[in-house]
Amino acid sequence: MKKINIFAPAKVNLILRVLGKRDDGYHDLFMVMEKLSLGDDLTLEDIPSGIEFSLEGDSDGGMILDKNLAYRAAKAFREATGEKRGVKIHLTKRIPIAAGLGGGSSDAAAVLRGLDKLWDKNWEPSRLAQLGSKLGGDVPFFCHEGAAIAEGIGDRITPVSKLPNLFILLINPGFSVSTPWVYQEFDLLKTNHESRITNHGSLELDLKLTPPHKDVSNRVLFEEFCDVTSNLENDLEKVTIASYPEIGEIKSYLVRHGAQGSLMSGSGPTVFGIFEDEKTRNDALVKIPMKNWKTYAADNRSES
């Protein structure tokens, strides 16, 4: 039987802006995301029929197959292609779950890309991404190579020229954060602020939920290391830190120990620090206090 191995990288959000809530309940976003050397490994093996799934480590949905994104991706691809053959999937998880690193979405995209190769379908990445958008907001990003701008609900992808080398230290505080809860809190805070602005229009500048957004549509801003660190931005960070102040503590730790920039990724709770060289990053890694923090050293990668 034909078998292939495929890597499913984690991601960080270098920029995450919430532009507004849509009529369908989702949010319009503007994101700049980069893939990392930290990731999960999948093995896909051709079998006569059906979908067999096995797992090492914790995963979104675990062994509840209808909730597991990797399994759902295989099912969706078989249905979309009309393929009668089956696949045996083995997933080895290394990306922490519910951590803002896109692990489940990356696994789903890896299955789509892997089955496309395994079964010689030759779909374009944009076609895989369109199918992946039905599975999760970050799946289309992982169907494309390299860093990218993601807009809409994450389904409109614009590749970004290769970013400079980034030495990254990820710290996960050891608890998970619900993405729907974070967005609900964001909407509530924004509504409260807008109400106060309506009643006190002269205070508008002081009451904005987030500072004015920088224009990052010009890709030249990402050519140098300092271009990346000076544009870090996450609209959800303030909301999550308000309920989980330990995230702010982690950010302060990273900056004190040499990170040129630090930000919460996605809806959290994982925080990443960007270092200019590997030695400074590794020095910070060995000095991390003895807490329940989970740590990962990673680099950015240009291909998934």
- Give catalytic residue positions: 11, 138
| 240 within 8 A of 177, measured Cβ to Cβ | yes
Query: Exposed, middle or buried, 61 (CB in 10 Å: 0-12/13-18/19+)?
Result: middle
Query: Of 87, 11, 99, whose CA–CA distance to 58 is shortest?
Result: 99
Q: Which residues are within 8 A (CB) of 86 and not within 5 positions of it... i.e. 6 or more apart?
A: 46, 47, 48, 49, 50, 51, 52, 78
| φ and ψ of 253, to 5 deg | -60, -45
List the end-to-end C-alpha distance of the chain, in Å, as a whole number.
25
| φ and ψ of 104, to 5 deg | -65, -40
Query: Of 229, 235, 169, 212, whose CA–CA distance to 31 is shortest?
Result: 235
Q: How many CA atoms lie within 13 A of 294 on its CB side?
A: 12
Cα-only R_g, the chain: 20
